[in-house]
Structure 1
Amino acid sequence: MADIKAKREIERKYEAGDGGLPDLTGVGPVAAVVDQGVAELDAVYYDTPDERLTADGLTLRRRTGGADAGWHLKFPVSPGVRDEIHAPLSDTVPPALAGLVRSRVRDAELLPLVRIRSRRGISHLVDADGTPLAEVAVDAVRAERLTGHGGAAQWTEIEVELADDGDPALLDAVGKRLRKAGVRPSPAASKLARALTETAPPDRPRPTAAGHAAPTTAGDHVLAYLRAQRDALVALDPAVRRDEYDSVHQMRVATRRLRSALRTYRKVLDRTTTDPVRAELKWLGTELGLGRDQEVLAERLTTGLDELPYTLITGPVRTRLRTWSRSARGDARRRLLADLDSDRHLALLDTLDALLADPPLRPAAAGKPAKVITKAVHKDFAALSALLRHALDLPPGHDRDLALHEARKKAKATRYAAEAAVPALGDPAVGLVKAAKSLQSLLGDHQDSVMARRTLRELAGQAHEAGESAFTYGVLHGREEQSAAELEARLPETWRAIEKGTAL
């Protein structure tokens, strides 16, 4: 992965008018337009035979010529903004890039789809100090479809790409000048999108993103929610592989939402089909949680140590904590990447696709959303109430900790059930989502304290065996005990407020 580079690409595309590129000197901070010569670019775009990457707005190409020859994989972020992953030239798709598209490609083969050759005239827009602000390219494009019996096309376009850390307002100003000169924005999001449209065989329909009618039945609403979480699993896969911030947590949440919805809405979807799917989702969520739980726990222990007066810190506590954290996180990361590449994970994604394509609907799926969905959410809420009351009836200690952990898991399930209900039930479901989230947060802090105390006891034992002082671990343990007691004291009043304020 050392040769893999990433950058954010912010650009605008325009149809080149008859007048060519107008003078952009004086647009905003642009002091000069500096000619950089002409480059001959030759790019071959790859995709599956059914164009899965293109359907999701991704592009994978091998390009020669220019300053950035190599393999480029682009992920859409927002209109005009893409994240570009660059790998060195090779004859085949680099394994690192193949991994980033595996959740979409799966067992399909990546094939050359379109060849695009461009004669690119390059100019730099620079400020008074000569600092590049943006690059303007005028491309004479020739596109050729490499599969089927497609044809060829050619056109000329203008690209304006913002320099690294540039001000996006410059693109607005440049766009205004171009439109004033008669240059219009391109209707195509990319060269590939335009090439696919203009070179497609006349009798071949272009693949389009699947559309779904507005939900009307209870089954429609549940399937819409499941579909959104399936899409999140697929979309987050490359972010997890790249170790992007919060991606593991978000992917884990998607697995939990899927599991929760499949359990809560068993009157809508037949559990004989969905229970095996829930089991596989639990496996994936557990694997995702290994690193995430470790990260949260390490942050908690480090923060607790930072808050102690230096007089209460004895021995190499910080070093031991850092070593424990790095070792555990590295092991969890390697295991997770292996999981994402496994046949088991790809089979789960295929199973979810099949479930949504041909859902095992039960009679209640055809019912009115307000009736069917409300009943299901009420059932979850009642189970949460019973679990929490049972936990609070127990004396403080191990059994209560376990019971509160079970209540925490049910609070999550209730929250996710209410999320799925929002489109059908509106504000009452929104209120329950907020209430369940606040309770989940409180119970989550309590469980974090339980896990922190367990880890502190383990670290204290290791320190003792190494001949180090275990005093500081005991201090931190005592503070965690006090924190847990305070959280438990807040629970009865918090729950009474939630019961009173829930309108669903």
Structure 2
Amino acid sequence: MICRICGEETATTGGMSLSRQVEVETKFAVADDLPVPHLECLPGVDHGADQPPQQLFATYFDTDDFVLTRAKITLRRRVGGTDSGWHVKLPAGDSRLELHAPLGDEPEKGQAVDPPAVIADALAGLLRGRQVFPIATVANERHVTVLYAENGESIAELCDDHVLSESLLPDGVTQQWREWEFELHPAAVSGNHDGTTLAAHAAQLLLAAGATVADSPSKLRQALGDSYTTHVAPAEQAADSHGEHGFDLGQSLRNDYAQMLRWDPAVRQDSDDAVHQMRVATRRLRSQLGCFSAVLETDKTKPVAKQLQQFARLLGAARDAEVVAALLEDAFAHSDSVAIDAELTKFVSDYLAQRYRDAHYRIVDFLRSDHYFTLLDDVHDLVAAPPFIAEFADCQDRQHDALQRELLSQLTASFATVRRTAALEQNLRAALPADHDSWEEAVHELRKAVKKFRYAVAAAPSVGTKTQKLLGSLKALQDMLGDFQDSVTVRALLADAAAEAHECLHNTFTLGVLSEQIRSNGESALSGLDDALHATDKAFNKVARKLQRKLAETPAKQVKATKKRSKAGKDTQPQDKKKRRKKKKKHN
């Protein structure tokens, strides 16, 4: 595994190696006869060099319910070119993370296969021991122009691809097309070259030459075409559906579960922001189970929610270490009150990096455990058919009404806690500098109350309630409370690092000065707290009134629906009587 902090290059599983690279590319659709423009005019490019043509042949694989493709993950076995082997492409923010494993023996054509062990390990959360099937083939004649900087480093390449594909799904078709891919090389992604500017100018040049931005995000999706939509798994069809009222709690839960699965491989590979994104999906899923507990069978949801809570805490330890390391790096670079010794800075940075590595190791260890796979199976079963209590199990109208009422109850109770903790914080703030520790604890309790409230608000879209303004005001409130809490966490970890540094005979006086500067910055972050609380209060009242109006309208709508059904029954009655008379006459 490559850790972006420790910088290791490969991982091994069962004696096989796994390498990886970050892929930053833009795809363009082009006509067959469109000439490739000259690229030497791009900023930072000294010259280009055409490479010998490559003949590539790739077979793409997925499970029978397309769990990989639905998670925007591609798995292929490709021969030809400079990187023959098994490839996995994972979403990673604005880029994609590509994992490579050796080619190995050729699978039997058209049959289900077990991916190489190192690939199966990287995708274990999604595959969970299942085999994969060939779903498409792509033959590609590739013409590559590599672009070099003045210092001789390769910084980008343009691939001119002539593609022939075949969907192996039922009713799949053969397609042919041409496309360009402009891809940044590592020196332009993380080196000293400005890859962002280079990619932007390249896009302008290629579009001006007659290309268009490709509609399909990948060769696989274009190769599958309509056959993917036609044969999409029932689970995704359910996730794409909406209830009569424009909501579906099951859909919302399934979306969060899908996000957990999507980020699983990226967390294993320690991709940027992956731990944070998986933690968000996990906590949101748990919050919805808690928010709607009054209408769900809690004997089925509570054990799952408890496991999700424990998993989120595990993710949180790594996320906190990640955030603290970034904040301290910034504090070291911009400290205006004290010059910090470079050797001491390195010691503290290494100490925090080790804490992150330890936390991430514990996450990956859990992701490889039977406990985790059982959790995923339990969540899958739960979100596939949310266990509504008997009163609401078979009637969507009653589900909608109950969910609205439960949401209003949760919002009201959660915001009452926000108001109560806010009042305590204001009282203690007024008494400062006395009892500073109690005030900090009050701010922490307010932050937890706001976070719980936001989880309740986050559930609102799943019952068709618009909460954009409330979420906007909550974001501003959470940002400032979060900035303050980050300063508290940083100071605590900085104290731990200082104790370690002192034992290693470093002079840690400057760390104490820096800690006080961080404390001051954290308190300054709360300067707009009262205004943010007022804006949140106002936005909440608006949402609450809207929910109350909806609930007041519900009985009238139900009466109207009942009358409509009754009228429909009466309209059919004379016809039914006529049929009975005809039947009786025929019998006589």
Instruction: Establish whether TM, by shorter chain, passes 0.5.
Output: yes
Task: Give the distance between the partners of 1:412 and 1:470, measured in 2 at CA.
Answer: 35
Kindly report the root-mean-square deviation, in angstroms, between the aligned alpha carbons of the 2 structures. Answer: 4.3
2:516 is aligned to 478
Q: 1:66-465 alignment to 2 at 5 Å?
A: 66-75=81-90, 84-91=98-105, 93-111=115-133, 113-114=134-135, 116=137, 118=139, 120-123=140-143, 134-140=158-164, 143=166, 156-164=176-184, 167-172=202-207, 190=219, 194=223, 207=233, 209-211=236-238, 212-216=240-244, 220-308=247-335, 313=340, 316-362=343-389, 363=392, 365-367=399-401, 371-394=405-428, 396-422=435-461, 429-465=467-503
Q: Are the aligned partners of 2:241 and 2:251 in contact in 1 as well (CA < 8 Å)?
A: no
Compared CA separation, residues 326 and 258, structure 1 to 2 (3 A): same
| CA 175–372 in structure 1, closer or farther in 2 if over 3 Å, else same | farther
Which digits, 9 at most, give the CA deviation of each residue in 1:372-409, with x for residues without a partner?
A: 43332222111222233344445634444334323212
After superposition, the Cα gap between the structure-2 partners of 1:77 and 1:174, relative to the gap in structure 1 and judged at 3 Å, is farther
The number of aligned residues is 478
| Pairwise CA distance, 1:260 | 1.9
Go from structure 1 to structure 2 and tell me whether the alpha carbon gap of 1:265 and 1:28 turns closer, same or farther (over 3 Å shift).
Answer: same
Select 1:5's aligned residue among 6, 21, 45.
Answer: 21
- Is the 1:123–1:135 Cα contact (8 Å) retained in structure 2? yes
The one-letter amino acid paired with 1:418 is V
Answer whether contact 1:34 1:123 (CA < 8 A) is retained: no
Q: Secondary structure at the match of 1:67?
A: coil
Change (3 A) 1:152 1:106: same
1:62 corresponding residue in structure 2: 77
* Corresponding position of 2:33: 22
Which letter does structure 2 place at the counterpart of 1:419?
A: A
Preserved contact between residue 284 and residue 455 of structure 2 (Cα < 8 Å): yes
Q: 1:426 to 1:144 in 2, by over 3 A?
A: closer
Distance 1:288 1:317, change over 3 A: same
Classify 1:479/1:139 alpha carbon distance in 2 versus 1 (closer, same or farther; 3 Å).
closer
Which residue pairs with 2:4 in the alignment? none
Q: Is the 8 A contact 2:56 2:142 kept in 1?
A: no
CA distance in 2, matches of 1:288, 1:251: 8
Corresponding residue for residue 182 of structure 1: none
* Distance change >3 Å, CA 242–CA 175, structure 1 → 2: farther
Q: CA deviation at 1:367?
A: 0.9
> Structure 2: how far apart are the matches of 1:102 and 1:391?
46
Aligned position for 2:547: none
CA shift in 2, pair 1:193/1:58, >3 Å = farther
CA drift of 1:371 comes to 4.4
Q: Distance between the aligned counterparts of 1:163 and 1:27, measured in 2?
A: 16
Q: Which runs of 5+ in 2 are unaligned?
A: 2-8, 10-18, 42-47, 106-113, 185-197, 393-397, 429-433, 544-588
Distance, in Å, in 1 between the alignment partners of 2:461 and 2:164 is 50
Aligned to 1:74, the other structure's residue is in SS state: strand
TM-score, structure 1 normalization: 0.78
Q: In structure 1, what is the Cα distance between the partners aligned to 2:339 and 2:40?
A: 56
**C-alpha spacing 1:161/1:469, structure 2 compared with 1 (3 Å):** closer
> What percentage of residue pairs aligned between the two structures are identical?
28
Give me the whole-angstrom Cα distance separating, in 2, the residues matched to 1:73 and 1:433: 36
Change (3 A) 1:388 1:158: same
Structure 1 residue 315: Cα displacement: 9.5
CA distance in 1, matches of 2:21, 2:146: 25
SS in 1 for 2:137: strand
List per-residue Cα deviations over 1:246-304 (Å, max 9, x = no partner): 22222212222222222222223333222212211111111111121112223333444
Cα separation, partners in 2 of 1:311 and 1:381, compared to 1, 3 Å: closer
Q: Which moved more, 1:327-336 or 1:490-499?
A: 490-499
C-alpha separation in 1, matches of 2:218 and 2:518 = 53
In structure 1, the residue corresponding to 2:81 is in which secondary structure? coil
Shift in alpha-carbon separation, 1:270–1:380, aligned structure 2, 3 A:
farther
User: Over residues 40-94 of structure 1, what are the superposed CA-to-partner deviations in whole Å (9 max), with x where a residue is unaligned?
Assistant: 5443333224443244453312122233322122347899x96643333233734
Match of 2:582 in 1: none
Q: Which runs of 5+ in 1 are unaligned?
A: 179-184
* Cα gap change, 1:196 to 1:250, in 2 (>3 Å): closer
Distance 2:370 2:206 in 1: 44
Assess, with a 3 A threshold, how the Cα gap between structure 1 residues 459 and 369 changes in structure 2: closer, same or farther. closer
Asked whether the equivalents of residues 267 and 365 of structure 1 are also in contact (C-alpha less than 8 Å), the reply is no
Alignment partners' CA distance in 1, 2:358 and 2:255: 31
1:291–1:329 CA contact under 8 A, matched in 2:
yes
SS, match of residue 158 in structure 2: strand
Equivalents in 1 of 2:144, 2:182: separation in Å? 10
2:20 partner amino acid:
I
Letter in 1 for 2:491: R
In 2, Cα distance between the equivalents of 1:471 and 1:438? Answer: 35
Equivalent position amino acid for 1:116 in 2: T
Deviation larger for 190-199 or 456-465 = 190-199
Indicate if the aligned counterparts of 1:229 and 1:258 stay in contact, CA closer than 8 A: yes
Q: 1:34 to 1:365 in 2, by over 3 A?
A: same
- The answer to which of 44-53 and 234-243 deviates more is 44-53
Q: Which amino acid aligns with 1:44?
A: T
Measure the CA separation in 2 of the matches of 1:343 and 1:237: 15
Cα distance in 2 for partners of 1:324, 1:177 equals 49
Q: 1:421 to 1:355 in 2, by over 3 A?
A: same
Which stretch of structure 1 is more off in the superposition, 243-252 or 45-54? Answer: 45-54
Matches of 1:304 and 1:155, distance apart in 2: 55
Q: TM-score, normalised by structure 2?
A: 0.68
Q: How far did 1:411 drift?
A: 0.7
Paired residue type of 1:106 = R
Change (3 A) 1:170 1:408: same
Distance 1:69 1:124 in 2: 16
1:314/1:189 Cα in 2 relative to 1: closer, same or farther (>3 Å)? Answer: closer
Q: Indicate the structure (1 or 2) with the bigger Cα radius of gyration.
A: 2
